[in-house]
Amino acid sequence: MAFPNVRLSNRPLHFIYLCDCSGSMAAQGKMQALNQAIRQSLPGMADVARENPEARVLVRAISFSDRAFWHIPDPTPVTDLVWTDLQAGGITAMGEALELVASQLSSPPMEERALPPVLVLISDGQPTDDFERGLSLLMRQPWAQKAVRLAIAMGHDADLEVLQQFIGPEPFPRLPEGEVPGASGHQPRMAARSRSPRRPLQASNATSLAQYIQWASTAVVGAASRPASRLGGEELHSNQNQSNIPLPDLPPTLMDPTDDIGPLVW
């Protein structure tokens, strides 16, 4: 005498961390901060997975330094995930990391039907290998084109241009007031623009890193699993909707010197 033993059919949602483990990550406790941020985010991610019966959230992770390796090779349900600490040391084989992801996003091994994958690239420096080759191999995969690609820049030495290339073309570059697009002959500085999930997220300290990891593993997973409540003000062809998944608002963060928060006093 019970409801039949059936459940909503679901699709896999692949969530892949690409973590920079180069030697510079050993400085200022950055490696420990990243390990902690990911570990602390897992219970919240498990809650979101439970709230979204239409998605089967599966997590993997890649670490890259001298070479790129699968840190978590098997797509693992978030409830079964145990985060083993990453260790820092070596250079920055970011291109090879993208190649590794590319090999897993072709079908097979990718399922025939899935939700858009979520790729989160975290780095504090510059790639030391052939990044362009890795990116081009990745972006040849239809699943990579459909993926939600996020990047977190740790500290101020991260190569924001490279991270932006991973994310894709940035939305509506905001020019200084009165400036005609293209007139200055150069791209406006990254720091002068407002925060957006379509730009590298600047994590200048452990707290903001933890907030961004939390946001990616909960709000973004939620948005990729199931459609969120929609506001009428959002135009159909607004920049938010250029991508195939409308991304949730970024978390309100503590003041970050590189974020455009406007003048403090006037």
Partner 1 sequence: MLPEGSDLAFEGLQARVTIVRGLGGGTQGQVFEVDVAGERMALKWYFPNSIAADPNLERRLLASIQATAPNPSYLWPLALLRPAAGESTRLPLAVQSFGYLMPLRPPGYIGAHEHVGGLVDISLQTVMRSSFFLAEAFHDLHLRGLCYKDISLMNLFLEPSSGRILICDNDNVAIDGRDPGSVLGTPGFMAPEVLLRQARPGANSDLFSLAVLIFRLLTRHDPLLGSLELAIRCLDEPARRRLYGEDPVFIFDPRDDRNRPDPEAHPAALVTWPIYPAPLQVLFLQTFGIGMKSPERRALTGQWKQVLARTLDQRRLCPHCGQETFPDPAAPGRCWNCGRELGPGLALQLPHGLVQAAAGNELHPHHFDNLHPQGLGNPLARLESHPSRHDLLGLRNLDAHPWQALLRNGERLNVDPGQVCNLAPLTGLVTPSGPITLLR
- Residues in contact with partner 1 by the rule CB under 8 A: 1-9, 11, 50-54, 112-116, 142-143, 146, 219, 226-233, 236, 241, 244-246, 248-249, 252
Instruction: Report the alpha-carbon distance of residue 103 to residue 72 in Å, rounded.
Output: 15
Q: How far is the CB of 234 from partner 1 (least distance, A)?
A: 8
Compare residues 187 and 238 and give the one whose CB is closer to partner 1: 238
Instruction: Report the alpha-carbon distance of residue 81 to residue 57 in Å, rounded.
Output: 11
Compare residues 82 and 231 and give the one whose CB is closer to partner 1: 231
Q: How far is the CB of 231 from partner 1 (least distance, A)?
A: 5
Residues 6+ apart with CB under 8 A from 148: 116, 117, 118, 119, 220, 223, 224, 243, 245, 247
Compare residues 53 and 89 and give the one whose CB is closer to partner 1: 53
Beta strand pairing call for 11-20 and 68-77: unpaired
Q: How far is the CB of 78 from partner 1 (least distance, A)?
A: 14
Beta strand pairing call for 118-123 and 11-20: parallel
Compare residues 43 and 227 and give the one whose CB is closer to partner 1: 227
Can you give the C-alpha Rg of the chain in angstroms? 19
Compare residues 126 and 258 and give the one whose CB is closer to partner 1: 258
Q: How far is the CB of 197 from partner 1 (least distance, A)?
A: 13
Q: How far is the CB of 147 from partner 1 (least distance, A)?
A: 9
Whole-angstrom CA distances from 133 to 53, 137, 240 are 37, 6, 28
Let me know: does 71 contact 41? Beta carbons within 8 Å. no
57 forms bridges with which residues in the sheet?
13
Tokens 């890649």 -> residue: 62
Compare residues 4 and 182 and give the one whose CB is closer to partner 1: 4
Q: How far is the CB of 44 from partner 1 (least distance, A)?
A: 10
